[in-house]
Structure 1
Amino acid sequence: MCSHYQGIRKREQIERYFRVRGQPVPPRLDMWPRYTGEFIRRPPEHDAGDEAVPEREIVLGRWGLVSALTRQANLAKAEKLSTFNARSETAATSYTFGNSWRKGQRCIIPAESIFEPDWRSGKAVPTAFRRADGAPLGIAGLWDRYRNTAGEWIDSYTMLTINADQDPLWSQYHRPGEEKRSVVILTDGAYDDWVNGAGDIRDYLRPYPSGRLIAEPVPR
């Protein structure tokens, strides 16, 4: 599970690694649930036949998915739920995430690092996880679009997670006795197929090689 990550400050990395034209730096790069962050998707208008529509676009959205199926009467409640992560095992049948899953509304969340607590000392030590090669992380997610109480359309997104009890790296983190989980970090070569909806979504829900990641304590 991830409830804190760092967005990408260097706009040239957005263009180089994700092949999208980087917009100005978003309001926040130190991301927590319900903040507005960046995600990358295949444009909803892509299948309209307009050649001007790019293969990928980067947009701003709410980190914490709200389903398009949410009724206005239930919107305030839905916006308070912890929907910044989606369990991959149950997302397909979830009311919140099922609409995005069925429609293949996949996205990539670009991140410089993600943070998890290290409890091995008996206290929670914030730890940053980054790619060892210095490239940004591309985290697999789902997105949806809902209408708020003012009648405005709001994009929102979530990160997909998998069980990590047996992972040599991620199993060392989180509270003792709790299930260990990690976000789904995509390999660079999977970006196109992921956003384009190619293949079974479950084929991508695999651990990222732990040897390609670095975990470092974060000074308070």
Structure 2
Amino acid sequence: MCTNYRPPEADLFEAFTDFPVPRFEYPPEIYKDYVAPILRLTDGARLTDPATFAMIPRKRIPPGVKVFDTMNARAESVGEKRSYSSAWKKLQLCLIPCATFYEPNYETGKPVRWRIGVEGGRPFAIAGLWRAWEDPDGVSLSFTMLTVNANEHPLMKRFHRPGDEKRSLVILRPEEYEDWLGARSTDEARSFLNLFPAEEMFAEAAPKPQKVTKPTGEGGDLFAK
């Protein structure tokens, strides 16, 4: 499960995609409940919107309900789980711009944070779902990342706790972006939910910074340190 990633810096967007450059600030690393850019197609218009990482942000969980995580949606059950099924069936698909994402590696016997990306270090997009929330001052968005089983993937099987199922985010190729966003059925959308070739990826140890400021209020602190 991916719970932390780094989006491209704003000045890289023009080289990454023809979607608009974000007109809002976002942290250099994204954690649960942080705001980050997502890319959508709405009535033919390309939109780059701020959205909260977690399909159901913590502030939306009713009082008395145990806090649960919705940063990742399993491809196998995305159409059945209450947190995601409505967005999936409505084809509320998005692209999540990413420079690298982070996973724990236990090969030393202890968890070591690793940085994972696409060869050459170029930005890429992760397949995601979005939903809208009605607020007193307008509409806000949230999103989740889609994942697939990676037990047999040469690279992604190296991550997560020993004995746990191995999972991978769904990385899309640039030529797939428009087709993913414009999928006309859930069957068509599901055809994109595949593992990315290990030989086209890179991974390296990237120990966590000594201090990371987690969210304390709506949207959290703007920048992690």
TM-score bin, normalised by smaller chain: 0.7 to 0.9
Find 1:135's aligned residue among 118, 122, 125.
122
- Residue matched to 2:8: 8
Matched, 1:102 2:101: no
1:114 maps onto 2:101 in alignment: yes
Matched, 1:42 2:41: yes
Contact 1:5 1:114 in 2 (8 A): yes
Displacement of 1:152 after TM fit? 4.0
TM superposition shift of 1:94: 1.2
Among 206, 211, 216, the residue aligned to 2:194: 206
Cα pair 1:29 1:37 within 8 Å, conserved: no
Aligned length: 204
AA aligned opposite 1:180: K
Aligned residue number for residue 57 of structure 1 = 47
Q: Normalising by structure 2, what TM-score? A: 0.84
Larger helix fraction of residues? 1
> What is the match of residue 186 of structure 1?
172
Deviations 1:101-138 (A, max 9, x none): 00111000001100001101110110000211222120
In the alignment, the residues of structure 2 paired with residue 27 and residue 156 of structure 1 have an alpha-carbon distance, to the nearest angstrom, of: 14
CA contact (8 A) 2:105 2:158 kept: yes
Q: Structure 1: 5+ residue runs without aligned partners?
A: 47-52
1:75 Cα deviation from its structure 2 partner:
4.2
1:131-166 Cα shifts (integer Å, max 9, x gaps): 112221200000010224x46422010000000001
Q: How does 1:160-199 map to 2 (within 5 A)?
A: 160-198=146-184
- Name the CA distance, whole Å, in 1 between partners of 2:157 and 2:111: 15
Q: What is the one-letter code of the residue matched to 2:112?
A: V
Contact 1:66 1:145 in 2 (8 A): no
Kindly report the root-mean-square deviation, in angstroms, between the aligned alpha carbons of the 2 structures.
2.1
